[in-house]
Structure formats: C-alpha cells, structure tokens
Amino acid sequence: MPTRSTTAARAGGLLLAGTLLSGCFSAGPAGTGDAGGADAAAPDDRIRIAHLQPPRSALSPLSDDAFKLSRWSTAETLVVLDEAGDAQPALATAWEQVDDLTWRFAVRPGVTFHDGTDLTAAAVVRSLTAAAGATTPPRILDGVDLTAEVDPADPSAVLVRTAEVDPLVPQRLSSPQLVVLAEAAYGDGGVVDPVGTGTGAFELTVRDGTTGATLERYDDYWGEPAAAAGIDARYVSDGTARAAALRTGTADVVEAIPVSQASLVDEELITEVPMPRTNTLYLNTADGVLADPALRAAVREAVDAEGIVEGVYEGRADVAEGLLGPALPWAAEGRPDRTPTAAGTVPPGTPLTLGTFTDRAELPEVAVQLEQQLEAVGFDVTQEVREYAQIEADALDGAFDAFVLSRATVLDSGDPVAYLYSDFACEGSFNISQLCDPEVDAALVRASRTPPGDARRAAVLEAERLVLEADAGIPMLHERVVQGESARVAGAARDPRERLLVLPGTSVG
C-alpha cells in the first residue's frame, strides 16, 4: 500500500501535470488542430482523447499505428471480430471458402472513401496487395503468402489466395493493419497516407506529427452516423499527465491509466477490461534444477499469485486459472480438468536463477515477491534483471531456471494458437521453457488445422492442458486495460484487444 507521503507526492504531481496539460485539449477551430488558450471552453460535441503513445510511422496502417486508425473509427477492414474472436461482416458482407487455398469476399455496396471515391473490389485488391508486397509486411502476414484479385466471374467480389491451407484467412483480414483505403493513400516508395482516405464514421483531417490528430464526422458514412462532431486526439506518454487529464476534465477518454495513479482518480471514471495478456513464470524443462518435473511442481505450489496481484498490481489484475484469461470468455467455460504432477520436496539451498526485465515496471516487483515465495520452500534464488533487449537472447537460450514474462496471448488474428505454438512447441520461436513434448506438439498441430469455432477452441484448450500439466509455464495473472472516461462521455468502447475506442455511437455532453 502506498504511504501517506507517497500518496501526497503523487497527488501533487497529478495536479502539476493537469496544469501543464490543460491547454492541449482546449477548443480551437474545428479541423485545425490548434490548442487554443488554456481557459477556452471545451467543445460540447467533440471527443478528446489522451493516448499512451505517439505514432511511430506517421500513422501508416502497415505498422502498429494502424490500431490508432481503428480506435478512431476512421479506417475499416473487410471483417471484424466479435467477443469470441469469430469473424463478422464489415466492408465485406459475406465470404466463403472456394477451395483449400481460395476465399471469396463480397464487397459491401454503397460505401465511399472520405475523398468521395467509391469502395470497389479493385480498391480492396489494391490495399491488400500493397500490404502483402510491402518491404516490411504487416505482422499479421508473417509467414503468409497472400494474394488478391477481383473475381473474374463477379466484379463486386474479391478472391483471396494463400500458398498454404489457412483456416484463419477471415480472421487475418480483421487486422487493423489490413484496412482498405482509397487510391490516393498509396504513394511512391510504399508510403501509405490515411489522411482523408478511410471509410469510417470519422475522417482523419489533420495529422500533427507526434503531438496529435484531428478527425471530423463523415456525413456520408455507410453505417450508423457518428454522434460526435469530431475527435481531438493528443499523445501523452507520461502516465501521471494522462491521469491528470482525466481528473481535471481536460480529456474525455484516456488510455492506460497507470495502476499507481488509478487510486488517485474518482473510481467512477475508471473502467477495467481484461486484456489478453498473461504474466507467466516460464520454467526451464530441459536443463538445470527444474528439469525435474517434481521440482517444477514445487515451484507451482509455491507461487502465491493472489499475493502478487494485491501487492504489485493493487488488485487491478485477475488471478490466472490458465494461460488464457477472461479476455477470452470461452476459455474459462470450456477448460478441461487437469491432472497436476505431485510436488516434490525441495532440498534446502537448491539454487535457482530467476530472470526478468525492467521495461515493464511491474515485472521486477513480481520477481522480488517470487524470490521470497520460492525461498520459503527451500530454493536459493539468484535474480538477474536487465533491459529486455539485453536479456532476451539469454532467456531464449535457456540461461535461466525461471523467467518472468508478460505475454500477449492473442495476436492480430484474434486466435491464441500462434502464441501457444511460439512459446511451447518444440520448434517454437519463443520457447523460453525449452519444452519439447511430442504430445504437446501434436495437440498444437491439431489446433492449428481445425477451422475456427467450437472445435478449434476445444483443441486450443486441450493443448493448454498439456502445457500446464508439464508445468512449462506457471500462469500467475492476467493484466487489465485501465481506461479513463470522463463523466461527459458515453458509449466508448471497452475492448480487450484494444482495436476499438471511439465508436460511431460514442457521444459527449
């Protein structure tokens, strides 16, 4: 718990940050991006957002900046994902698998881009081809050879082909990195400019570098008209300043309120959404002291995840029941029973190396608590804590007996198989646990080949069961999105995948 003096210091910093930030969201002429004076009245019908990070690639949709475009409802994809991760219509009204390698998508009629040109099958092909042919293709296409063409039999449809069988093609096309933009967006040298070229409810009109962006309601939107007149977005990397923007009413929607600041803000302004991100203790199954399954089980029994949630995350996280958390509701509902390995007795003084990194502020604190918990059952723990760039290679080489990692469990396709394969398959590229179990590998292959739906989810949970029974990873907690919403905003999205934020129906007043 924070001390009285610490709380006072935090509060003082929050007030100072609020004073410094107050001018950033003040009203200026619509669409100009001007901040105006610090005492100017906030516009009644515009949504003010304080974002965690500035764009890294000038809002190019081929980068992670694409997620800002989707969170502003300015650029759209052929399909979207529902809560369960199943594909639903967006710019495509329907789709079907034509053969093992080919999918056909019907393009929604009556849609216009923000520059007034029409959405056509040819426009979809142009956007998908630009993404697939980029010098650095979007992450969602890693290892995927994807091509697109207008259906020769129907000029209102698109044929999407992959070089290998891929049951997740519709889910892939939901990635914000595969948004469909007007022809004017695509310039020389692979540059993609989203200003005025999307199809969403809000048109991006001003891109102000790493300072902010301005969007206006697009009156010819094909779907539900936007309730707000526009969006004024600012990039505020300092967590104290973001919390201050919420507390002082200078922002309506605030990303990523730090846990250390959340307690200083009115709880009615805080929303918490489970993230598909799990804080896991990876155990070295191949070398060292934890190659013994009984001692890995002893580690599992020693870990007090509830104590870590309360002590480090101040209760703003969920104790893990598995590798997949509450951001995937079907995981808890369908998780099969496990038969855990019996824990062995730890000989006093058994050495154990524990690694983690400093880039995520909570992880060194988690490591401190784990050291205490493990030493209480007989281990002699030595910690190594470095910056992630300096420790990743050693972790992947199996240099540690145990490693604390916060890991996204659902990647861009909305499906957890890629994460499970990467982290726990014998040939997985991120196999910190050094696990090489033929039964686990076979389960992961079965899951990857199963079409989306209940059968695939059951196969995923079976693979998770085998990994957990091997004690290759001890899931401790699932992180949450801590989002701030002012009293004047209604209908903001609370999205575990962080793809949505301002919806057409989001309003202020």
pLDDT tens digits, 384-395: 999 998 999 999
The whole-number pLDDT of residue 16 equals 44
The whole-number pLDDT of residue 144 equals 87
pLDDT band (50, 70, 90) for residue 15: very low
pLDDT band (50, 70, 90) for residue 11: very low
For tokens 């022809």, what's the residue? 183
Cβ contacts of 492 within 8 Å, gap of 6 or more = 252, 253, 483, 485, 501, 502, 503, 506
| For residue 38, pLDDT beyond 90 | no
| For residue 14, pLDDT beyond 80 | no
Q: Which residue has the higher pLDDT, 190 or 211?
A: 211
The reply to whether 456 falls in a domain is yes
The reply to whether 36 falls in a domain is yes
The reply to whether 194 falls in a domain is no
pLDDT band (50, 70, 90) for residue 189: confident
The whole-number pLDDT of residue 41 equals 44
| For residue 4, pLDDT beyond 90 | no
- Under DSSP, the state recorded for 104 is E
pLDDT band (50, 70, 90) for residue 25: low
pLDDT tens digits, 40-61: 345 579 999 999 889 989 999 9
The reply to whether 266 falls in a domain is no
The whole-number pLDDT of residue 43 equals 59
Beta strands in 182-338 (DSSP E): 202-208, 212-217, 230-235, 253-254, 270-283, 317-319
The whole-number pLDDT of residue 291 equals 98
pLDDT band (50, 70, 90) for residue 115: very high
Q: Which of 258, 369, 361, 262 is nearest to 309 (CA)?
A: 369
Q: Which residue has the higher pLDDT, 72 or 498?
A: 72
Last residue of a domain, one of 144, 159, 185: 185
For tokens 């890629």, what's the residue? 418
The per-residue pLDDT of the chain, averaged, comes to: 90
pLDDT tens digits, 302-327: 999 999 999 999 999 999 999 999 99
120 is written with which tokens? 């056509």
475 is written with which tokens? 């899931």
Q: What is the dihedral of CA 239, 240, 245, 247, to 10 degrees?
A: 120
pLDDT band (50, 70, 90) for residue 91: very high
For tokens 């007030």, what's the residue? 15
The whole-number pLDDT of residue 481 equals 85
Strand (E) or helix (H) holding 24: none
Q: What is the dihedral of CA 120, 121, 127, 133, to 10 degrees?
A: -150
pLDDT band (50, 70, 90) for residue 32: very low
Strands 87-89 and 489-490, sheet pairing: unpaired
In the three-class reduction of DSSP (H, G, I as helix; E, B as strand; rest coil), residue 330 is classed as: helix
Domain count, the chain: 3
- Do 141 and 133 form a contact (C-beta atoms < 8 A)? no
Pair 32, 128 in one domain: no
Measure the CA–CA gap between 37 and 27, rounded to whole angstroms: 8
The whole-number pLDDT of residue 200 equals 98
Pair 456, 320 in one domain: yes
The reply to whether 257 falls in a domain is no
Pair 432, 292 in one domain: yes
Measure the CA–CA gap between 471 and 343, rounded to whole angstroms: 11
| For residue 28, pLDDT beyond 80 | no
48 is written with which tokens? 């003010």
pLDDT average, residue stretch 158-174? 94
CATH number at residue 357: 3.10.105.10
Pair 66, 91 in one domain: no
The whole-number pLDDT of residue 64 equals 86
Pair 444, 313 in one domain: yes
Pair 93, 165 in one domain: yes
The reply to whether 262 falls in a domain is no
Q: How many of the other CB atoms lie within 10 Å of CB of 290? A: 27
The whole-number pLDDT of residue 366 equals 97
Measure the CA–CA gap between 416 and 388, rounded to whole angstroms: 23
Q: Which residue has the higher pLDDT, 19 or 172?
A: 172
The whole-number pLDDT of residue 183 equals 97
pLDDT average, residue stretch 67-79? 97
Lowest-confidence range among 10-19, 237-246, 447-456? 10-19
The whole-number pLDDT of residue 142 equals 78
- Do 295 and 341 form a contact (C-beta atoms < 8 A)? no
pLDDT tens digits, 473-493: 999 999 998 999 999 999 999
Q: Which of 36, 52, 18, 30 is nearest to 210 (CA)?
A: 52
Percent of the chain residues topping a pLDDT of 70: 91
Pair 51, 85 in one domain: no
Pair 331, 462 in one domain: yes
Taking the alpha carbons at both ends of the chain, their separation in whole angstroms is 36
The whole-number pLDDT of residue 498 equals 87
Beta pairing partners, 230 = 46, 216
CATH number at residue 66: 3.40.190.10
Q: How many of the other CB atoms lie within 10 Å of CB of 59? A: 23
Cβ contacts of 10 within 8 Å, gap of 6 or more = 2, 240, 260, 261, 264
DSSP states of 257-282 as a string?
A: --HHHHTTS-GGGEEEEEEEEEEEEE
Percent of the chain residues topping a pLDDT of 90: 76
Q: Where are the alpha helices (DSSP H) in 22-163?
A: 66-71, 121-132
348 is written with which tokens? 């006093």
pLDDT tens digits, 128-137: 999 999 988 8
- Do 497 and 276 form a contact (C-beta atoms < 8 A)? yes
Pair 69, 139 in one domain: no
Measure the CA–CA gap between 69 and 72, rounded to whole angstroms: 5
The reply to whether 267 falls in a domain is no
Q: What is the dihedral of CA 353, 357, 361, 364, to 10 degrees?
A: 10
Pair 9, 88 in one domain: no
Last residue of a domain, one of 130, 156, 185: 185
- Long-range Cβ contact pairs of 384-392 (< 8 A, separation 24 or more): 384/353, 384/354, 384/355, 385/355, 385/356, 385/357, 385/358, 386/357, 386/358, 387/357, 387/358, 387/359, 388/357, 388/358, 388/359, 391/355, 391/356, 391/357, 392/357
Pair 165, 278 in one domain: no
Domain of residue 324 covers 274-480
CATH number at residue 177: 3.90.76.10
The reply to whether 381 falls in a domain is yes
The whole-number pLDDT of residue 24 equals 56
- Do 232 and 46 form a contact (C-beta atoms < 8 A)? yes
- Do 130 and 192 form a contact (C-beta atoms < 8 A)? yes
Beta pairing partners, 160 = 103, 148
Q: Supply the pTM of this predicted model.
A: 0.79
Measure the CA–CA gap between 162 and 139, rounded to whole angstroms: 16
Pair 50, 168 in one domain: no
